[in-house]
Amino acid sequence: TREIRLVSRPEGEPSAENFALVETTLPDPGPGEVAVHNLAMSVDPYMRGRMNDTPSYAPPWELDQAALGAAVGEVTASGSDRVGVGSLVLHGLGWREDAVLAADQVVLLPRREDVAPSRYLGALGMPGRTAYAGLFRVAAFRPGDTVFVSAAAGAVGSMVGQLARLAGASRVIGSAGSKAKVDHLINDLGFDAAFDYHDGPAAELLARAAPDGIDVYFDNVGGDQLQAAIGAMKLHGRIAVCGMISQYNATAPTPGPSNLALFIGRRITMTGFLVADHDDLADEFASKVGGWLADGSIVAEETVVDGLDHAVQAFIGLLRGQNTGKMIISL
Ligand code: NDP
């Protein structure tokens, strides 16, 4: 079987040389362990942080060890009564074709004809839950709100916009990095307006898309789009600070928004959050979003890359915007 190891740490943008695809052998599972054949693995923006040897909420990947991340797979051998052969499971040993791990480290997933396993890495998994918790709890969404979300054609952003629409937003605006993604937001996902952030100063593009201002900004990118969003905030606006991907490859401090003083006069709330703080929403999330996905109310695009040998390019491509919706590696 094969796995991908981190072999060096990047300065700035990661490159293929930071990784190595390695042949390895695995032991049979012992008592309390399971062997899993992975069907799909996730690449996520937070993994850029795990390539650095600096303390963060997710510990750094170790050099010359297989990288870690979410994967969905099928149990092929089991030393556990709880997790039988053939079970579909979610676990943390991605970046490899096969894994042997403790049975209590896997989450059993329902096997459903109408739900592809990769959904548990995207719309019905961590990114979907991030959108749900961030919009409804952290940003305290209310029907009638005008909502702006950045990286809107990605895994989290595409769910934020659609959930806001389904929950009664008066206007949903998204930004993304290409004309094709902007068209996708409007034509496929039901956004009311969208712009390509390369097309000019963010503040001007946002003002055109949201002439009356915004109530909620779901921030996935930071930088000048955050500054533009603060400038467009209505009274009592709320910002959920989910991610700042425009800064993940930065090698020098990036200039911050210069208009934070507007928080005061407009009584804006801006709240950072980690999806893991909101695990108590999991059941509510699964039943609502599962229903919307099943009846077609939510569109969950995936960019699927085939095979472990393309996983590194997929991860680098994710940081450059080569995905629409959730980036998945099928194994
Ligand atoms: P996406 O599927 O959105 O993929 C990343 C996207 O970021 C790319 O497709 C690209 O799209 C965009 N991007 C890359 N560079 C820039 C840039 N310089 N400026 C603006 N956009 C850029 O990833 P996810 O949905 O998984 O994650 C989205 C955000 O949410 C990330 O910031 C991530 O760290 C954060 N996150 C936070 C969590 C939490 O618990 N707080 C949990 C999960 C995710 P484009 O073509 O539009 O540029």
Q: What is the pLDDT of residues 6-39, one digit of tens each?
A: 999 999 999 999 999 999 999 999 999 999 999 9
- Separation of alpha carbons 128 and 130, rounded Å: 5
Lookup result for tokens 């605006």: 173
Give residue limits of the domains in the chain: 2-122+301-330, 128-277
Work out the average pLDDT over 305-323: 97
Structure tokens belonging to residue 97: 């074709």
2-122+301-330, what's its fold? Quinone Oxidoreductase; Chain A, domain 1 (3.90.180)
State residue 255's pLDDT score: 82
Domain 128-277, CATH among 3.90.950.10, 3.40.50.2000, 3.30.1360.120, 3.40.50.720:
3.40.50.720
Say whether pLDDT at 253 is over 90: no
**237 within ligand 1 shell (Cβ under 6 A):** no
Does the C-beta of 293 come closer than 6 Å to ligand 1?
no
CA distances from 148 to 144, 157, 230 (A): 13, 10, 11
Closest CA to 236 of 219, 217, 223: 217
Residue nearest to ligand 1 atom 43, measured at CA: 127
Our answer on whether the CB atom of 273 is closer than 6 Å to any ligand 1 atom is yes
Q: Is the Cβ atom of 185 under 6 angstroms away from ligand 1?
A: no
CA of 221 to the centre of ligand 1 (A): 6
Q: What is the pLDDT of residues 45-59, one digit of tens each?
A: 999 999 999 988 899
Could you give the CA distance from residue 312 to residue 15 in angstroms, rounded to a whole number? Answer: 8
User: What is the predicted pLDDT for the residue at 264?
Assistant: 86
Q: Which of 178, 252, 191 is nearest to 218 (CA)?
A: 191
- Give 133-136's long-range contacts (Cβ < 8 A, gap of 24+): 133/273, 133/275, 133/277, 133/278, 133/281, 133/285, 134/160, 134/218, 134/240, 134/242, 134/273, 134/275, 135/160, 135/163, 135/164, 135/167, 135/216, 135/218, 135/240, 136/163, 136/167, 136/281
- The residue assigned the tokens 């480290």 is 105
Query: What are the tokens at 241?
Result: 């600070």
Q: Is 163 in the pocket of ligand 1 (CB under 6 A)?
A: no
pLDDT tens per residue across span 284-296: 999 999 999 999 9
- For position 294, what pLDDT does the model report? 96
Ligand 1 midpoint to CA 45 (Å): 6
